[in-house]
Amino acid sequence: MFSAMPSLLPYKGMAVAALAALLALAAGPSQAQVQTEARQDYSIVADAIPLSLTGSPGDAARGRAIVASRQQGLCLLCHTGPISEERFQGNLAPDLAGAGSRWTIGQLRLRIVDARHFNAETIMPSYYRSKDLLRVAGAWQDKTILTAQQIEDVVAFLATLRSDEKGNGK
């Protein structure tokens, strides 16, 4: 009667991770997480946001901390990456290793600001979009998940993740 069930087991981890991500985002932020800064305007050119949101480069060390954080970026809920101290990493989204080789800084910035620009059905949150969103908790209305500075910090970190000639992330 349940002979088909074992074939579904590989998807259980993906389903649990996706559900956890959606619940974490839907639950709403603590007051410390709500971003209240004035949102910076940006221009999309082709498939990138070529100019920094802050006018200056981000800090890669701060960006790494945001990517690794289970309270802030939540990146490792879906992605895996070269952050060895984080044992439980996702497998729903592309590996972050080599991201700096696969995309330009402007392309990385747009993927973080609004991943829906590339795929309207993505489960990746738009970290710097606050308009035209569905089912947004009251605490998040007209707010962004990350500040412009935090976006630049994450971009700076991802840009350091280069691939060697064998395609292995460093």
Q: For 120-150, how does the pLDDT look when each residue is reduced to its tens digit (9 = 90+)?
A: 899 999 899 878 877 888 887 888 899 999 9
Please state the domain extents for the chain. Answer: 5-29+40-160
pLDDT in tens, 19-52: 555 545 554 444 334 455 666 788 899 999 999 9
CATH class of the region 5-29+40-160: mainly alpha
Checking if the pLDDT of 58 tops 70, the result is yes
* Alpha helices (H) in the chain, listed in sequence order: 9-26, 60-68, 99-102, 105-113, 148-160
C-alpha–C-alpha distance, residues 32 and 39, integer Å: 17
> Token digits for 53?
């949101």
Give residue 6's identity as a one-letter amino acid code.
P
pTM of the model: 0.74
- What's the confidence (pLDDT) of residue 50? 97
C-alpha–C-alpha distance, residues 44 and 99, integer Å: 20
- What's the confidence (pLDDT) of residue 62? 98
